């Protein structure tokens, strides 16, 4: 199994290209199930999760072709064609490693009138039930049954009649599933307290490009007037705001300066605000975001929240950065209840972090030291890389399959700005 070896203490300087957003791409790919015509997605990141979702789509009879598969390319172009769906079952062996697989439920139900999807897996960062996905689909007229580890969904003859659903708590995935199901409903579907993340807007924009009728894009109240059919489209995946924020933390912890080429400042305002609070220059510049850290890092009190608040996917990376800040910082995780599994690993590197429930207290330390550490989930793995970049000596990060799910060719991008990072096979 591969590991990454990092020689710490190198100041990052230069330009890092930002890839297409993993969280957006995994929502756009299943839209191919909604039409018989080709769907072409540009700027797809080269990630294990994208490959996994491609295999899942093939399970349903969707053909996929990829351009831009040269090793030196960042991003790819994928064309998906589903003129005929040959299966409606998403089996456990394909779904278990990737939670986003549940996103085939809505579009499959809308087009075929039925779907059977294994209960999903993914990072073990806390209880992430899919009950809101199912309740939203039921509100639109679906019949749902849970049996033997699978969700079985059926639509009435003639399709989903439509309806209304008010989310008791904001759910990105459930909003996405509901939107795709609603696009081909017979009537009108309304969602209240829907998620507003940029990835939701990206999905809505693609659906509109395919012929869907959606009102309220970018707000928490969405109205979808179902149409008889959707057509194909060519669409570019939005840049990855979490990847951009991660590299921003990497630059800041080394006292470096980088241009995050392709990042959109208006989609990551909460992250940029957090960085500025910590004492880092972080502003939009041209077609990217410039990040520079020239002075002392300052302690900060940060709390995750649904968009437009601070993304939970940035909590671990900011925690790594705050280990080098002067003073004591407090981080509060409001989204997931088990997202501090990286804390013991950071403490192995000399950090001083205490946790109590959903709160983490980060006492700034004078320096970190390299160590052998183990990734526990996707964003936790990046926090260890960030800490390793600033640590004295050598850091080895293991369990890279977590990292490969969300960061396209990370070691190559870090090398572009002066990091000494190498991926090697674990003996």
Q: At what angle do helices 241-253 and 378-390 cross, to 10 degrees?
A: 20
> How are strands ordered across the β-sheet holding 359-363?
301-303, 328-332, 359-363, 352-356
128 is in an annotated binding site: yes
131 is in an annotated binding site: yes
Query: 159-172 burial by CB neighbour count: b if 16+ within 10 A, else e?
Result: bbbbbebebeebbb
What is the Cβ-side half-sphere exposure of residue 116, based on CA atoms within 13 angstroms? 10
51 is in an annotated binding site: no
Contacts of 18 (CB under 8 A, 6+ apart): 239, 240, 243, 244, 247, 260, 261, 262, 263, 288
CA–CA separation, 341 and 249 (whole Å) = 19
CA angle 405, 408, 414 (to 5 degrees): 125
23 is in an annotated binding site: yes
From 154, 202, 272, 255, select the one nearest 28 (Cα to Cα). Answer: 202
Q: Could you say which of 123, 189, 204, 249 is catalytic?
A: 123
Is the CB of residue 318 less than 8 Å from the CB of residue 356? no
From 385, 352, 384, select the one nearest 366 (Cα to Cα). Answer: 352
6 is in an annotated binding site: no
For every residue of 283-296, which 3-state class applies, written as one string? EEECCEEEEECCCC
Is 123 catalytic? The answer is yes
CA–CA separation, 293 and 324 (whole Å) = 12
DSSP state of 154: E
Q: Which residues are annotated as a binding site for UDP-N-acetyl-alpha-D-glucosamine?
A: 99, 128-132, 313, 335
User: Which residues are annotated binding-site positions?
Assistant: 22-23, 99, 128-132, 313, 335
Q: Known binding site for phosphoenolpyruvate: residues? A: 22-23
Which residues are tagged catalytic?
A: 123
């Amino acid at each position: 199994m591969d590991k990454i070896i990092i020689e710490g203490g190198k100041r990052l300087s230069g330009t890092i290209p930002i890839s297409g957003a993993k969280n957006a791409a995994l929502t756009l790919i299943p839209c191919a199930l909604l039409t018989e015509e080709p769907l072409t997605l540009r700027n797809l990141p080269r990630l294990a999760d994208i490959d996994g979702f491609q295999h899942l789509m093939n399970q349903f009879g969707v053909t996929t072709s990829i351009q831009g598969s040269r090793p030196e390319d960042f991003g790819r172009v994928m064309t998906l064609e589903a003129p005929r769906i040959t299966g409606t079952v998403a089996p456990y062996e394909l779904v278990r490693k990737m939670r986003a697989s549940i996103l085939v439920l809505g579009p499959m139900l809308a087009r075929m009138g039925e779907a059977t999807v294994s209960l999903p897996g993914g990072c073990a960062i806390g209880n992430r039930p899919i009950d809101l996905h199912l309740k939203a689909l039921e509100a639109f007229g679906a019949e749902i049954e849970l049996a033997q580890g699978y969700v079985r969904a059926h639509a009435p003859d003639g399709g989903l009649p439509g309806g209304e659903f008010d989310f008791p708590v904001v759910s990105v995935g459930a909003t996405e599933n509901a939107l795709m199901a609603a696009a081909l409903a017979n009537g009108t579907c309304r969602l209240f307290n829907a998620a507003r993340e940029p990835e939701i807007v990206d999905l809505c924009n693609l659906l509109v490009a395919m012929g869907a009728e959606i009102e309220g894009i970018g707000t928490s109240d969405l109205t979808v007037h179902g149409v008889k059919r959707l057509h194909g489209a060519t669409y570019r995946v939005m840049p990855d705001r979490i990847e951009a924020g991660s590299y921003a933390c990497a630059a800041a912890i080394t006292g470096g300066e980088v241009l995050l080429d392709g990042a959109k400042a208006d989609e990551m305002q909460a992250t940029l605000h957090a960085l500025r609070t910590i004492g880092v220059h972080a502003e939009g510049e041209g077609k990217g975001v410039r990040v520079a850290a020239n002075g002392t890092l300052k302690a900060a009190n940060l709390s995750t929240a649904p968009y437009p608040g601070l993304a939970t996917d940035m909590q671990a990376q900011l925690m790594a950065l705050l280990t080098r800040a002067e003073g004591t910082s407090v981080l509060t995780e409001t989204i997931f209840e088990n997202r501090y599994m990286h804390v013991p690993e950071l403490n192995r590197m000399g950090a001083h972090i205490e946790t109590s429930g959903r709160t983490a207290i980060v006492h700034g330390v004078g320096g970190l030291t390299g160590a052998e550490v183990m990734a526990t989930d996707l964003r936790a793995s990046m926090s260890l890389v960030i800490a390793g970049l600033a640590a004295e000596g050598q850091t080895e990060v293991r369990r890279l399959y977590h990292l490969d799910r969300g960061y396209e060719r990370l070691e190559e991008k870090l090398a572009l700005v002066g990091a000494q990072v190498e991926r090697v096979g674990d003996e």
